[in-house]
Structure 1
Amino acid sequence: MIESLQSLIAQTGPRLKLRWITPEPASARLLRTEAPGSTRQSLIGSLNCIHPNRLQVIGNAELIYLAQLGRTAFGETVQKLFSDHPAAVIFSDGIEPEAAFREAAEQTRTPLIGSSLGDEELINHLRYFLTHALAERRTVHGVFIEVLGMGVLLVGDPAVGKSELALDLISRGHRLIADDAPRFARIAPETLEGTCPEALRDFLEVRGLGILNIRAMFGEGAVVRSKTLNLIIDLQPLDQQQLECIDRLSGSLSVRNILGVAVPKITMPVAPGRNLAILVEAAVRHQILRIRGYDAGVDFVDRQARAISIDRPDPPRTPS
């Protein structure tokens, strides 16, 4: 788990050519703090003293800007940079920091890090890495599967048939992501990415058959490591009264909130004789159409309204 500056350097240092300019801190240097507003603070970016980043990057462009400020303004800017207590200041493009930066770093106990990569390349790589490494996460009980390119989470009570349905879908060419404990990370304001814990990867438990290795049974194409969550299907054994409460036009579409993201949810009745695999495929196709702006229920109502207006045209107006 990436939580400290030291672990970040250990994991990305060789690839991004990161090195310690000042000695590595003895205690963990957290990338996020408990300070108010820190969760809204950008993790990494170019030199910014108005909205300071946790990791401030200084490249050639920043050095040119600082050199044009004059001695007094230069010193004030450097002091402001370090007084905001960033997790570290990173010098890109192989830059060796001058004495003013080293003195301010020593006074505030701020680590200095160097890299031979350009600032844009360095920021892009680290931003992508940190977005995934530090994303909020939650484990949800269910089976996460890719259907027609959409990430679908099958949920429901134990023994309702989630794994059997997943196996049926896999046999129809769809792909397994995670069984029992898929883990979701919020990687963007409205985006959840689901993955499988390493110990459970490729496995699916089916009652009566035990643990199945989907990769070994169906091949490499039957599994996928991660997918964006697009739809939740809640399998529920509903009685007749509950079935009659479902809207005949819009169905049982609702939403479920996971990590602050509203995910479309469909409650799918489970009953003997229902081909749930076909129904899941139809639900996914229907959701794809909704995303594209088409709703069959609205189209149906409009078509009926047009038919009624043709059968019963407006009466002619009488002259006044």
Structure 2
Amino acid sequence: MKLLITGGAGFIGSNFILYMLQKYPHYKIVNLDSLTYAGNLNNLKKMENNQNYSFVYGDISNPEIVENLFQQKIDIIVNFAAESHVDRSIVTPQKFIETNIYGTNNLLFISKKYGIDKFIQVSTDEVYGSLNNVGFFTESSPLAPNSPYSASKAAADLLVRAYSETFGLPVNITRCSNNYGPHQHPEKLIPLVLTSALKDNIIPIYGDGLNIRDWLYVEDHCSAIDLILHQGKVGEIYNIGGGNERTNLQIVNTILKKLNKSTDLISYIDDRLGHDRRYAIDSSKIRKELGWKPVFTFDIGIRKTIDWYLNNKDWWEMEKK
């Protein structure tokens, strides 16, 4: 089987490549990545001499590059490639539209032209919008994105659905809760808190810090996509949640406690524009239909994450430059 992994030098994409080649060493994987600020080939350094792994520098929006790859026969696409930081989408939404919408359409159009066994669109729970203090997002929840980032991801999801309904393209859409783990860019909450605390720098918290997210260890996310790739029913959407709801303030306090750092490092700042109050995923569908469940509790996952950042200071210091 030959897989095209887009955005494979990023946080989740690189973890997925490592996971898949360890579990299926006979698979061939092509990693297409434009190496923006969040892409780092050092994430895949151990794959450099693997004959079943290859890297192609390029943008998913470029038809020529994508078509050249399809001429080598691609069986499955897993599309991780995306501009993903909400703050950046508020400042420069155009880039999010170009990559997340135009880029996804380019992949879909060429997939339709050449044929493919499956197209997996890796999306986010943010497309559902914000929840109050009760309830969970299900796969049938209406899309109500509140940021340029989530709106661009929702638009991409709808394009994937349209290619399935109109052209019969075999697709799956996955929507996950907040990921954390090794190789996550330091602008995201958990690595930002970790790297700031390790240097005794101020840790900014938006608003009152009581915004709630569900946290999913990245390896659990990888195992879910693996199951969907092999066993997911064509055309279906699958929510992937960790079942670990925490406020942002709880996350910060947990990390500070584990690092023996003072809460005096916390600084409350003006809330982010359009800041969703709560995300919570109902992942019962993938649990019942495919037998998936997360392996890592939050306590274990955060400990593994902290240890990785403690042992890889050179990596995150380079990413912060």
Q: TM-score, normalised by structure 2?
A: 0.26
Higher helix share: 2
Structure number with greater Rg is: 1
Which has the larger strand fraction?
Answer: 1
Instruction: Tell me which of the two structures has the higher relative contact order, counting C-alpha pairs closer than 8 angstroms and 6 or more residues apart.
Output: 2
